[in-house]
């Protein structure tokens, strides 16, 4: 299939999948006994952005992941620094063309800066991370981003229920260092298309990964409303993020999640985040 036809097919698929995911998500949230749709963790194309998000006043947020099984209380900044779109990825290989189409195209990520409480650190192991670009041993630094599943609109506040799109994990992200001397080998021809672009866009991928994002359980304790738990939906699939060259983007979008609704000012293409598996090493 030509790139032109591939793009047209993706445009139609995006519209259909988007409508189905919203309908299925709302049905699962409002209809007793309704079957819940099954989603995979999609590739995400992330952009530097600015917006305002914060937990409800007086709330306590506790995060749980594989590196913090007993939970920790993060220091969350009241603003967002990144917006991520599910993205179609097309690559050319020696045996032909491969396409990776989003299964959950309405589920985006909005990421806020975070740190650990003063004087605390997490004990972080070496990890072996594998995806379509290869595999390598990575060394981790302390977490710096918390990414929330978010609805997105180009025209105004999404105003959707539930306030979080179904089928996508929360993620805690850790900067990584790769001493494997080029174990990740992105193909020379990588084409991306998300909701900011009308065509497939060729990009160059930096083979040195920047960030590893772990599936995370979030618990919010709020006065008057009690405790809400947002479990890990897929404990196996992580996101490993690589810098990519510029793609088209919209100057303004609206994101909505459990921390509120915000206008997001988009400023630049930043990362392509690949679904990845992780193994902890001694």
Question: Would you give the DSSP letter of residue 25?
Answer: H
Segments of the chain scoring below 50 in pLDDT: 1-32
> pLDDT value at position 163?
87
> For residue 118, how far is the Cα from the chain centroid?
27
> pLDDT value at position 17?
36
Q: Does 32 fall in a domain?
A: no
Token pair of 64, please? 């749980």
> pLDDT value at position 27?
31
> pLDDT value at position 65?
97
> pLDDT value at position 35?
64
Q: Is 57 helix (H, G, I), strand (E, B) or coil?
A: coil
How far are the Cα atoms of 5, 74, 112, 114, 259 from residue 54, in angstroms, in the given order?
A: 42, 12, 9, 11, 5
Q: Does 254 fall in a domain?
A: yes
Question: Would you give the DSSP letter of residue 10?
Answer: H
- Which residues sit opposite 129 in a β-bridge? 136, 278
> pLDDT value at position 21?
36
Q: Does 29 fall in a domain?
A: no
Token pair of 234, please? 């897929």
> pLDDT value at position 151?
97
> pLDDT value at position 56?
83
Residue spans of alpha helices (H) in the chain: 3-30
Question: Would you give the DSSP letter of residue 11?
Answer: H
> pLDDT value at position 36?
67
Q: Does 127 fall in a domain?
A: yes
d(CA 153, CA 228): 26
Q: Does 9 fall in a domain?
A: no
pLDDT in tens, 180-216: 888 999 998 899 999 999 999 999 999 999 999 999 9
Q: How many domains does the chain fold into?
A: 1
pLDDT in tens, 226-239: 899 999 999 999 99
Could you tell me the residue range of the domain that residue 51 belongs to? 43-280
Q: Does 236 fall in a domain?
A: yes
Token pair of 74, please? 């993060």
**What is the strand order of the sheet 201-203 is part of?**
96-100, 88-93, 190-193, 201-203
> pLDDT value at position 180?
87
Residue found by looking up tokens 């959950």 in the block: 104
Contact (CB, 8 A) for 222 and 200: no
- Which residues sit opposite 272 in a β-bridge? 45, 242
């Amino acid at each position: 299939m030509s790139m032109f036809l591939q793009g047209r097919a993706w445009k139609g698929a995006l519209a259909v999948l988007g409508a189905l995911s919203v309908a299925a998500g709302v049905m699962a949230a409002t209809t007793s006994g309704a079957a819940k749709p099954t989603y995979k963790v999609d590739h995400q194309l992330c952009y530097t952005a600015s917006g305002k998000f914060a937990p409800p006043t007086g709330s306590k947020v506790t995060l749980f992941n594989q590196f913090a099984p007993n939970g920790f209380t993060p220091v969350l900044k009241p603003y967002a620094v990144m917006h991520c779109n599910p993205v179609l990825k097309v690559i050319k290989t020696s045996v032909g063309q491969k396409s990776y189409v989003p299964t959950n195209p309405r589920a985006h990520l909005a990421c806020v800066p975070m740190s650990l409480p003063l004087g605390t650190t997490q004990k972080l192991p070496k990890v072996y991370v594998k995806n379509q670009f290869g595999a390598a041993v990575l060394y981790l630094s302390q977490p710096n981003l918390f990414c929330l599943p978010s609805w997105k609109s180009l025209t105004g506040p999404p105003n959707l229920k539930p306030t979080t799109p179904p089928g996508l994990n929360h993620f805690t992200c850790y900067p990584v260092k790769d001493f494997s001397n080029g174990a990740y080998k992105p193909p020379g021809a990588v084409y991306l298309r998300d909701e900011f672009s009308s065509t497939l866009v060729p990009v160059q991928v930096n083979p040195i990964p920047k960030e590893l994002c772990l599936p995370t359980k979030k618990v919010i304790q709020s006065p008057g409303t009690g405790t809400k738990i947002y479990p890990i939906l897929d404990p196996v699939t992580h996101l490993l993020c690589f810098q990519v060259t510029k793609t088209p983007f919209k100057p303004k979008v609206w994101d909505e999640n459990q921390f509120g609704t915000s206008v997001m000012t988009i400023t630049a293409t930043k990362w392509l985040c690949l679904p990845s598996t992780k193994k902890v090493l001694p």
